[in-house]
Amino acid sequence: MLTDSHTHLNAEQFQEDQDEVIQRAWEAGVTRMVNVGFNRETIPSSIALAEKYDFIYSTVGWHPVDAIDMQPGDLEWIEDLCKHEKVVAIGEIGLDYYWDKSPKDVQQRVFREQIRLARKLGMPIVIHNRDAHHDILTILKEEKAAEVGGIMHCFSGSWETAKQCLDMNFHISFGGPVTFKNAKQPKEVLAQVPLDRLLIETDAPYLTPHPFRGKRNESAYVRLVAETAAEIKGLSLEELAEITTNNAIALLGLK
């Protein structure tokens, strides 16, 4: 009863064996997967995947790295797609100060516009945050994102940052990096996140968990994240899987 709350099964890395990857995840007990569409290319294929498999859902949003490519009308396009029964959140959206493709001011404008859209539609948001903790928190507060809440995807910040996110109605999601032997801070933060706000993910094909680090990630490996989280929380794998799945169901309206 595992749920991968963030995956990219429509990525080019799965072009040759997408169906097999999905089958492996199902056989590993991953009964729900949330596939993330984040630009003009990936949004349609993500929705198509959700239409093909009844246990796969989709998000739609504009990634901060691609913010510079967002055209007039794209926000309205996203709004229209949010009516689709398999679209469960707006994302991944946020800020990425590691890559310099999109200027910070453009990223921030696109981020704010999508939070406002989410509030208009009453939909949760999925946050991408890379090297931008302060500005992410500031914009979430200024744009009243607590009204809709959502997911801090593949959380990498401190407990102080996590507390502020929790106070704004967000769930904290952990991926492969929490399984790394040197991942002191993620493990410490996970230990403190309340069980009713905890989610797990893969971000496949990226951020592969130990012991497959350096290889292509896939949704079946969310089980490895779950095993680490269960150990940290002092729970059985089954208990951790049920709790995080129920959290995803409640937040995103999964069936």
What is the domain partition of the chain in residue ranges? Answer: 2-252
Question: What average pLDDT does range 49-67 have in this prediction?
Answer: 98
Instruction: Examine the pLDDT at 100 and tell me if it is beyond 90.
Output: no
Tell me how crowded residue 135 is: count the other CB atoms within 10 A of its CB: 17
Q: Is 182 helix (H, G, I), strand (E, B) or coil?
A: coil
Q: Is 2-252 a CATH 3.20.20.140 domain?
A: yes
Report the mean per-residue pLDDT for the chain. Answer: 97
pTM score over 0.75: yes
Q: Tokens at residue 27, please?
A: 């056989």
Instruction: Examine the pLDDT at 200 and tell me if it is beyond 90.
Output: yes
Instruction: Examine the pLDDT at 131 and tell me if it is beyond 90.
Output: yes
Element (H, E) at 206: none
Question: What average pLDDT does range 160-189 have in this prediction?
Answer: 97
Dihedral sign for Cα atoms in the order 186, 38, 105, 98: positive
Span 219-253, pLDDT tens digits = 999 999 999 999 999 999 999 999 999 999 999 99
